[in-house]
């Protein structure tokens, strides 16, 4: 159905990545030498206790932070050699973000919230409106374009956040606890939506979660512990 079902290409590669916060006696290693590869079209769940390094590695992949040492390659391009503006461009052009707290503008309509990434890209109003409406339709929110976040349920707000993340057709969707503020039924709806984007649009998804029931939607599960990868397993495979 997608190119990812043929021979997947390496999209993200971390080689010997370390991250240390602070200096001297106050130095705190968050990552202790991570080797990780994620191929195009994968759906990866990242798990681990607080302080295990999972959020740090997501921030590095999302170009929100930089490694202390080691190399991060995105589509074979060395991200560590990029300046701040180049990393911002990579983030804007290739990455989409979904957060636990939705991060929507409170007094702004659903349509306007979804348009934000397109404004940063300099896309003209008419095209922005059309693309945002299409993205809202893709998450099942046709007819809700003019509603503000306060007029939407938690599940609907997260759908708006997902529409905003996918409106620019990113190569990678980074989801940080996307169901953390939702009840079980709404959580399942959001996970089914993410699965659809992964399988039908070929979007690579990397999701941080602490909820074991959400992990079953992913095809690969990486557990972090003490700044290292403890396990890296494929769902549905014996062994």
Residue 85's contacts (CB-CB under 8 Å, 6 or more residues apart) are none
Whole-angstrom distance, CA of residue 173 vs CA of residue 142: 22
Question: What pLDDT does 24 receive?
Answer: 85
Q: Please write the tens of the pLDDT for every residue from 114-168.
A: 999 999 888 999 999 999 999 999 999 999 999 999 999 999 999 999 999 999 9
Q: pLDDT averaged over the chain?
A: 92
Share of the chain above pLDDT 90, in %: 82
pLDDT for 102 beyond 90: no
Q: Are 213 and 92 in contact (CB under 8 A)?
A: no
Q: What are phi and psi of 81, to 5 degrees?
A: -85, -5
The reply to whether the predicted model has a pTM over 0.85 is: yes
Entry field: residues in the chain: 239
Whole-angstrom distance, CA of residue 30 vs CA of residue 228: 9
CA atoms within 13 A on the CB side of 236: 6
Whole-angstrom distance, CA of residue 146 vs CA of residue 115: 12
Mean pLDDT of the 57-84 span: 95
Structural domains in the chain plus CATH codes = 3-234 (3.40.50.300)
Closest CA to 4 of 219, 169, 214, 163: 219
Q: Please write the tens of the pLDDT for every residue from 20-63.
A: 999 888 889 999 999 999 999 999 999 999 999 999 999 999 99
Q: Are 17 and 69 in contact (CB under 8 A)?
A: yes
Whole-angstrom distance, CA of residue 71 vs CA of residue 117: 28
Whole-angstrom distance, CA of residue 164 vs CA of residue 95: 11
């Amino acid at each position: 159905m997608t190119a990812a079902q043929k021979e997947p290409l390496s999209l993200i590669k971390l080689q010997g990545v370390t991250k240390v916060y602070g200096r001297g006696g106050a130095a705190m290693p968050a990552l202790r030498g991570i080797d990780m590869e994620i191929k195009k079209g994968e759906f990866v769940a990242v798990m681990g206790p607080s302080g295990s390094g999972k959020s740090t590695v997501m921030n590095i992949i999302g170009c929100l932070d930089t490694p202390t040492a080691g190399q991060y390659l995105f589509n074979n391009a060395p991200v560590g050699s990029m300046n701040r503006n180049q990393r911002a461009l990579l983030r804007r052009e290739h990455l989409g973000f979904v957060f636990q707290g939705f991060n929507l503008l409170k007094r702004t309509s659903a349509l306007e919230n979804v348009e934000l990434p397109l404004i940063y890209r300099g896309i003209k109003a008419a095209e922005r409106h059309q693309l945002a409406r299409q993205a809202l339709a893709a998450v099942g929110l046709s007819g809700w374009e003019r509603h503000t976040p306060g007029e939407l349920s938690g599940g609907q707000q997260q759908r708006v956040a997902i529409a905003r993340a996918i409106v620019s057709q990113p190569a990678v969707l980074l989801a940080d606890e996307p169901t953390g503020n939702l009840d079980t039924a709404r959580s399942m709806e959001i996970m089914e939506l993410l699965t659809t984007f992964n399988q039908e649009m070929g979007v690579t998804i990397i999701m941080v979660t602490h909820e074991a029931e959400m992990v079953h939607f992913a095809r690969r599960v990486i557990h972090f512990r003490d700044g290292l990868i403890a396990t890296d397993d494929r769902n549905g495979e014996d062994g």
